[in-house]
Amino acid sequence: MYDYYNPYEYYGYSPMQNAYRAYPYIKNNLMSVVNNPMGITNNPILQLDYGPEAIVVNINDITKQNNYFRSALWTGKHLQVALMSINVNEYVDIEVHPDLDQFVRIEQGQGIVTIGDKNDSIHYRRIVSDDFVFIIPAGKWHNLINTGNIPIKLYYIYAPPEHPAGTVNKTKLEADAAE
């Protein structure tokens, strides 16, 4: 796969994951680093939270590969990036985060996002689909409902982090039970 060793190289590439991760090449351990720089398993994206180390990813590919309801991709001190897959006719649930802002980008699928000042006072409804972004300020009630015929694949950024580092909820039921 790699025919050369560059001692000045600092970033490694994982083609299975479309991800670059900052790590030093160590000559004695070069083959294990080159062949499997992030401890890749059959479903690497969903088994590891890569924070707080630096990574570079193709967010579109990784988001579309995720089949779990929620999976923390990266958790740092001040923000968290997570992936979601919302099945057809499924929804996130109306919720509020009093102390954090949220950025959401849809990579696949379509749905309706609702946002409001109170649980029973939703004043903002928009149809969203591929490439849409919505930003939810702290203290706003919100929900996302999948109205399409394929799963919604999205990533979101919480600032500060909301879920424990390494969070993986395979299903909505599992996510609800964890909260």
List CB contacts of 120: < 8 A, sequence separation 6 or more.
Answer: none
Query: Would you list the domain boundaries of the chain?
Result: 59-178
Q: Residues 48-79: pLDDT tens digits?
A: 788 888 888 889 999 999 999 999 999 999 99
Q: Does residue 149 carry a pLDDT above 50?
A: yes
Tokens (6 digits) for 43: 């479903």
Average pLDDT value for residue range 127-155:
97
Average pLDDT value for residue range 81-92:
95
Q: In terms of Cα–Cα distance, which of 59, 60, 55, 97 is closest to 74?
A: 55
Say what the pLDDT of residue 164 is: 80
Share of the chain above pLDDT 90, in %: 54
Distance CA 155, CA 136 (A): 14
Average pLDDT value for residue range 74-85:
95
Distance CA 14, CA 76 (A): 21
pLDDT band at 7 (very low <50, low <70, confident <90, very high): very low
Q: Which tops the pLDDT comparison, 88 or 1?
A: 88
pLDDT band at 47 (very low <50, low <70, confident <90, very high): low
State the chain's mean pLDDT as an integer: 79
Q: Residues 154-170: pLDDT tens digits?
A: 999 999 888 888 888 88
Q: Which tops the pLDDT comparison, 3 or 106?
A: 106
Average pLDDT value for residue range 146-156:
97
Q: Which helix (H) or strand (E) holds 126?
A: strand 121-129
* CATH T-level assignment (fold) for domain 59-178: Jelly Rolls (2.60.120)
Q: Does residue 14 carry a pLDDT above 70?
A: no
